[in-house]
């Protein structure tokens, strides 16, 4: 049976856009459908008051992979923005990530070795030798002062659960620097697209057919029969009609506000680490692009529990969800006409450069597995 398209790509976020660009480059015909009224997924920027507003939360591109950096810069030039957020705790401001500036602000200690000794003393005094939960694991890594000031309240807001109820394996690492360095990321390359992330997505999808306001599941039978293969970037459990139940997520609510001031907080992001303040951070978008506009736009970010119908942002990779995920992945393994990619379809927390690397890798594998793919 003749199929009109080689690939139907469900979702116009980074994974879908990169995959579509690669297939089109090699002569394949792609159709991208997007359920929202705009392309770009969660990196979409809304342009208001002369400012690119990161509508679904701030995105700072960073990578140490030169090939990935050169790839994105081939579609749009990136600026040299360096992410250096602040932490707000009980009226005081501290530098992030944890570094000698933070420790001086917290303890008035200037010597790195004294900081190391203080942290080790707190770890020993905690008496934790075999951590059983998130809280114990964090304290065993950075001590009580850093945990109580910067981690506990923020984490409990972010996950909607007490730190003692969270599994310890959520913490893979806590970056602690014993230098006076406020650069949040260690990656060699870092920046924001000049003109916003829409420029990147538009560059990736140039010349490719895209339809917005299209829900794949409302016309599933039709869409499954117009292309040789489907590239799916939505929620994995939804694709399989929740056969094994819902996978859990955390969601976010954003409050955007225009303020008639040239500068509201002097930095792109301030994290509010105390539990009593309901939002986790305030973003001032103009600072991502060194804006000089007369006014400014800020966004307060409120974590919330995900419910069906809400936007899913962060997968909850605990044991409960991992068991369900393993069942869904058994179904994925037997698919020969569907490619799953991105944070939702893989139920995995990805940074942007990791999403791009995954899309490039899967596109390359597709071409290698099917010799007839390249014309």
Q: Which of 122, 150, 170 is the last residue of a domain?
A: 170
Q: pLDDT tens digits for 262-321?
A: 999 999 999 999 999 999 999 999 999 999 999 999 999 999 999 988 899 989 888 889
Q: How many CB atoms lie within 10 A of CB 142?
A: 19
Q: Please tell me the predicted confidence (pLDDT) of residue 308.
A: 87
Residue 174 has pLDDT above 90, yes or no: no
Range of 157's domain?
A: 97-170
Query: The tokens of 287 are what?
Result: 């600072």
- Segment 331-350 mean pLDDT: 95
Query: Which pTM does this prediction carry?
Result: 0.93
Write out pLDDT tens, residues 44-60: 999 999 999 999 999 99
Residues 322 and 223 reside in one and the same domain: yes
Nearest Cα to 128, choosing from 155, 109, 147, 100? 147
165 domain-assigned: yes
Among 173, 241, 319, 375, the one annotated catalytic: 173
Residue 375 reports pLDDT greater than 90: no
Q: Are 165 and 101 part of one and the same domain?
A: yes
Q: How confident is the model at residue 371 (pLDDT cuts 50, 70, 90)?
A: low
Q: Are 374 and 22 in contact (CB under 8 A)?
A: no
105, 146 in Cβ contact below 8 A? no
Distance (Å, whole) CA 371 – CA 284: 49
Query: Per-residue pLDDT for 372 more than 60?
Result: no
Determine, yes or no, domain membership for 213.
yes
Q: Any catalytic annotation for residue 349?
A: yes
Whether residue 374 has pLDDT greater than 50: no
| pLDDT higher than 90, residue 175 | no
Domain-ending residue, one of 127, 147, 170: 170
Same domain for 154 and 102? yes
Residue 375, classified by CB atoms within 10 Å of its CB into exposed (0-12), middle (13-18) or buried (19+), is: exposed
pLDDT digit string (tens) for 103-137? Answer: 999 999 999 999 999 999 999 999 999 999 999 99
pLDDT at position 167: 86
Q: Which of 135, 184, 232, 281 is catalytic?
A: 281
C-alpha closest to that of 48 among 334, 267, 297: 297
Is 161 known to be catalytic? no
Do 223 and 331 belong to one domain?
yes
Active-site residue (options: 177, 187, 220, 279): 177
Which CATH number characterizes residue 242's domain? Answer: 3.40.50.720
Closest to 347 (Cα-Cα) out of 361, 331, 336: 331
Same structural domain for residues 233 and 342?
Answer: yes
- Whole-angstrom Cα distance, residue 63 to residue 360? 15
Distance CA 54, CA 44 (A): 6
Question: Which of 152, 170, 188 lies at the terminal end of a domain, its last residue?
Answer: 170
What is the pLDDT averaged over residues 211-227?
94
pLDDT(169) > 90:
no
250 is catalytic: yes
Q: Rounded to an integer, what distance in angstroms lies between the CA atom of residue 118 and that of residue 131?
A: 20
Same domain, 14 and 138: no
**Which stretches of the chain are DSSP H helices?**
14-25, 66-73, 100-107, 112-126, 134-146, 152-159, 197-204, 220-223, 236-239, 319-333, 352-369
Strand boundaries in 150-204, DSSP class E: 189-191
Question: Do 23 and 115 fall within a single domain?
Answer: no
Task: State the Cα–Cα distance between residues 178 and 43, nearest whole angstrom.
Answer: 33
Task: Give yes or no: 177 in active site.
Answer: yes
Same domain flag for 131 and 238: no
Q: Answer yes or no: is 280 within a domain.
A: no
Do residues 224 and 126 share a domain? no
Domain annotation covers residue 365:
yes
Do residues 162 and 20 share a domain?
no
% pLDDT > 90, the chain: 88
Residue 92 lies in a domain: no
Catalytic residue among 6, 187, 238, 351: 351
With 80 as the cut, is the pLDDT of residue 355 above it? yes
Q: Which of 156, 301, 328, 350 is catalytic?
A: 301
The predicted model gives 195-215 an average pLDDT of 97
Position 208 confidence tier, pLDDT thresholds 50, 70, 90 = very high
Mean pLDDT of 330-337: 95
% pLDDT > 70, the chain = 98
> Cβ atoms within 10 A of the Cβ of 241, count?
8
220 and 159 part of one domain: no
Domains identified in the chain, total number:
2
Rg over alpha carbons for the chain, rounded to the nearest Å, is: 22
The pLDDT of 231-245, averaged and rounded, is 97
Assess whether 301 carries a catalytic annotation.
yes
Catalytic residue, from 46, 104, 228, 250: name it: 250
Indicate if 114 and 223 belong to the same structural domain: no
Look at residue 22 and tell me if it is in a domain.
Answer: yes
Task: Determine the pLDDT at residue 1.
Answer: 61
Query: Does some domain include residue 296?
Result: no
Residue 119 lies in a domain: yes
């Amino acid at each position: 049976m003749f199929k009109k398209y080689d690939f139907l790509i469900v979702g116009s976020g980074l994974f879908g856009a990169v995959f579509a660009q690669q297939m089109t480059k090699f002569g394949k015909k792609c159709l991208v459908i997007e359920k929202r009224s705009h392309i770009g997924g969660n990196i979409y920027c809304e342009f208001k008051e002369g400012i690119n507003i990161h509508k679904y939360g701030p995105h700072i591109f960073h990578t140490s992979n030169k090939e990935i950096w050169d790839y994105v810069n081939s579609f749009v030039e990136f600026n040299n923005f360096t992410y250096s957020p602040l932490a707000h705790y009980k009226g005081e401001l501290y530098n992030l990530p944890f570094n000698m500036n933070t420790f001086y602000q917290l303890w008035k200690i200037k010597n790195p070795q004294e900081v190391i000794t203080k942290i080790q003393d707190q770890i020993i005094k905690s008496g934790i030798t075999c951590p059983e939960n998130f809280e114990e694991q964090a304290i065993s890594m950075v001590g009580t002062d850093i945990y109580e000031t910067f981690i506990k309240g923020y984490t409990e807001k972010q996950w909607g659960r007490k730190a003692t109820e969270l599994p310890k394996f959520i913490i893979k690492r806590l970056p602690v620097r014993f230098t006076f360095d406020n650069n949040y990321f260690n990656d060699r390359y870092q920046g924001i697209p000049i003109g916003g992330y829409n420029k990147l997505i538009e560059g990736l999808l140039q010349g490719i057919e895209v339809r917005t306001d299209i829900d794949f599941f409302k016309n599933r039978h039709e869409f499954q029969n117009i292309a040789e293969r489907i590239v799916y970037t939505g929620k994995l459990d939804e694709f399989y009609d929740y056969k094994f139940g819902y996978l859990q997520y955390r969601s976010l609510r954003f409050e955007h506000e225009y303020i008639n001031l040239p500068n509201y907080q002097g930095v792109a992001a301030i994290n509010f680490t105390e539990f009593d303040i309901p939002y986790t951070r305030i973003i001032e978008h103009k600072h991502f692009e060194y804006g000089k506009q007369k006014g400014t736009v800020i966004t307060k970010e409120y974590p919330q529990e995900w419910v069906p119908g809400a936007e899913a942002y962060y997968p909850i990779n605990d044991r409960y969800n991992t068991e369900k995920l393993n069942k869904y992945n058994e179904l994925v393994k037997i698919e020969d006409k569907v490619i799953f990619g991105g944070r939702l379809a893989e139920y995995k927390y990805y940074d942007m450069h990791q999403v791009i690397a995954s899309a490039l890798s899967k596109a390359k594998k597709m071409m290698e597995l099917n010799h007839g793919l390249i014309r």
